[in-house]
Structure 1
Amino acid sequence: MTDDTAATTLPIIAVTMGDAAGIGPEIIVRALLDPEVASACRPFVVGDAGRLRAAAALQGVDVEIRAIAAPEEAEPAAGRIDVVDLGLIPADLPWGELSPVAGDAAYRYVATAAEFATAGRVDAICTAPLNKKALHAAGHLYPGHTEMLAALCGVEEVSMLLSTPRVRVIHVTTHVGLIDAIRRIEPGLVERTIRRGLKAMQDAGIDSPRVGVCAINPHAGENGLFGYGEEAEKITPAVERVAAEGHDVHGPLPADTAFFLASRGDYDLIVAMYHDQGHGPVKVLGIEAGVNVTVGLPVIRTSVDHGTAFDIAGTGTASHESLVVAVQQAVSMSRGAAARRVA
């Protein structure tokens, strides 16, 4: 295999710039110059070339920001970052301040990346953080990246998966209130979530993933002592259907026990029923290296598991390590897609 052939088989990763007033541009500059990132994929930014140059300058980073017209033009090169430049950010946009202009631009970066994804022109999307208030101020009323990408890709149902070195968790429900979450949980949704999690683990190279499914109530209901039979009604039928096909799936499990067992290696994936049930343990066990993965899209999507950090934006002090991990996770989960694209 020639060097040119090897390069074409590398996954093409679209990195959206996020909110330009936040730390996204700064961490992108450092992350995409990381030799491990540049050697593993063909990354490019969907964003604003001028803002990336400003982010590089304030950090004292010597880098060439090259504008490209299409994902296929992205080529890794030392000291260079490729960008599909939408030119939406004024040069005087303040760092660290809420801006509808930046909110609208963040939406358009994601929308452009979604167009590339649905056309099969990228193998994964990795998103820098956006600010929900800025997004909403610009008229884009989505709870976050997950729901926005689902709408842009024409997908009715997706799942949020959080991955850390010690535990991975996929959520049956996410950005809804607890009472609404319990109402939404039903065997079909639980089963579809388990299956999306199984596929995500297999895409990541775990051929026979071990999956633990959380209960809703303390102690998994304690045989009817807690709750109103939600486990038997909403969760058990889904677990039994998937397990009957030979998958290593167990539950409903008390959530505190499930996460303990996962942290020591007994499970590859935990299925959480609602937002805080899954997010709390993940953030305790590994937020610094946490990666947010959207499962069920026509393309892999990963993200850092932190926000725009307006308080330190523009100071050059933000850590880029989580973004490096997010890109690496996107690469790991999209190698099969890259091989199919080239074939």
Structure 2
Amino acid sequence: MKRDTAPIAITLGDPAGIGPEIIVKSFRDAPGITRGCFVAGDVDTVRLAAQALAEPGRVPLPVALIDAPADLATVPPGCIPVLQAASPPPTPIAIGEISAAAGRIAGGCVVWAARAALRGELAAIVTAPLHKEALAAAGFGFPGHTELLQAEAAAYLGRPVTEVPVRMMLANDELRTVLVSIHMSLRDAIEAVTVDGVLQTLRIAHRALAAVLGRAPKIGVAGLNPHAGEGGLFGSEERDIIAPAIAAARAEGIDADGPHAPDTVFMRARAKRQGAGEFDVVIAMYHDQGLIPVKYLGVEKGVNVTLGLPLVRTSPDHGTAFDIAGKGAADASSLIEAIRMARALAFRSA
């Protein structure tokens, strides 16, 4: 199937969280954005979410079971197409509670979607939030979506995982940031700041953003230490690791600049009403350094994109929100933006 005609799969996420709710709200509130999409999930879970969100006296949004992505073409407008991508739970999932049963469904849906996308049956996958503890309780040996998808891609390509490097990009209308390291302790993340790691991140960000922008991106690089080390007074990583990686990237034609003080580089990159920022993307040295500024600008518009995979994957920029799950209060805006970005990335590169 050609990518420009293939559907987009939205994975269920943890059924105990807000994933099913925001999926139903996306189909209800943004039918133009969700056209050509289906849910890789559990039919009963989606039906229950649709019933819970139905207005008093109104019929719930109908859910249509499909057996394969190609069946999407037969689904009437106004329905939520769902493919049963994981075994149904033997007993109902308790909303707002961590469980292996919920993690098993969430992880199984992602594995199904990843394999379908790698076979070329999908244009992209959009992943609703899963819970890392539930995923681990279910026996998945990965800390999150990114690592699970990386492993699936490596297995499909017949390569070691180390030969399929991936990076996380968080993006909204104002700021993009790509991370050198993802889910690890801060102590380990500091050790992960190596010349090879920073250079690899610059290469991945350059390739991905060049495809999106249609030109070479301007890349700002954050330092690791306060004031970007202040000439070695507060640490030597900028001088000994980050600057050499930038020099190597520039020698390859990559427009990278830095290292810059991490407390100001994101402000310099932020797009404002009067125009674009100084950089198209900022390379952050560790998870929270890059995610805090993007999330501060608004979780409801943030999108998580995995770079380096042989498939397109996006996700909303928030978690399972167990505290509000099942209450009808979850905001679907970030998921809608993730679907919109997945479509743009998939069909631009088709």
TM-score (norm 2): 0.89
Q: Give the unaligned 5+ runs of structure 2.
A: 155-160, 272-276
Q: Distance between the aligned counterparts of 2:269 and 2:5, measured in 1?
A: 32
Asked whether the 8 Å contact 2:210–2:216 carries over to 1, the reply is: yes
SS in 2 for 1:223: helix
By how many angstroms is 1:62 displaced? 3.1
1:199-210 counterparts in 2 under 5 A? 199-210=207-218
Match of 1:335 among 321, 325, 347: 347
Q: 1:12 aligns with which of 2, 7, 16?
A: 7
Match of 1:38 among 28, 34, 39: 34
Change (3 A) 1:308 1:125: same
- Match in the other structure for 1:242: 249
Q: What's the CA shift for 1:8?
A: 8.1
Tell me what 1:4 maps to.
none
Match of 2:274 in 1: none
2:62 maps to 1:64: yes
Q: Shift of residue 77 of structure 1?
A: 4.9
Aligned-pair CA distance for 1:232? 2.2
Alignment RMSD (CA, Å) = 2.0
Worse-matched range after superposition: 302-311 or 197-206: 197-206
Distance change in 2, residues 1:63/1:90 (3 Å): farther
1:254-269 aligned at under 5 Å gives the runs: 254-264=261-271, 265-269=277-281
Q: Partner residue of 2:111?
A: 111
**Partner SS, residue 153 of structure 1:** helix
Q: How many angstroms apart in 2 are the aligned matches of 1:91 and 1:203?
A: 45
- Counterpart residue type for residue 180 of structure 1: D
Residues in 2 aligned to 1:144 and 1:235: alpha-carbon distance in whole angstroms = 27
Q: How many residues align?
A: 330
Residue 226 of structure 1: aligned partner: 234
1:183 aligns with 2:217: no
The structural deviation recorded for 1:90 is: 4.6
> What is the TM-score normalised by the length of structure 1?
0.90
Out of 260, 263, 269, the residue aligned to residue 253 of structure 1 is: 260
Within 2, Cα distance between the matches of 1:230 and 1:113? 39
For residues 268 and 36 of structure 1, the distance between their equivalents in structure 2, rounded to whole angstroms, comes to 28
Distance 2:214 2:60 in 1: 39
Partner of 1:142: 142
Deviations 1:132-159 (A, max 9, x none): 1211221223211111111122143211
Superposed structure 1 runs of 4+ greater than 6 Å apart: none
Structure 1 position 158 matched with structure 2 position 147 = no
Of the three residues 38, 42, 45, the one matched with 1:48 is 42
Counterparts of 2:202 and 2:167, CA distance in 1? 10
- Amino acid aligned to 1:325: E
Q: CA deviation at 1:301?
A: 0.9
- Do residues 270 (structure 1) and 266 (structure 2) align? no
- Could you say what secondary structure the match of 1:212 adopts? strand
Task: Report the counterpart of residue 132 of structure 2 in structure 1.
Answer: 132
| 1:328 Cα deviation after fit | 0.6
Q: Does structure 2 retain, via aligned residues, the 8 Å contact 1:287–1:305? A: yes
* Contact 1:16 1:110 survives alignment (8 Å): yes
Describe the SS at the equivalent of 1:141: coil
Give 1:248 deviation, angstroms: 2.2
**1:216 and 1:105, CA in 2 relative to 1: closer, same or farther beyond 3 A?**
same
SS at match of 2:234: coil
Shift of the 204–12 alpha-carbon distance from structure 1 to 2, 3 Å rule, reads farther
Q: Per-residue deviation at 1:201?
A: 1.4
Q: Residue 82 of structure 1 corresponds to which residue in structure 2?
A: 81
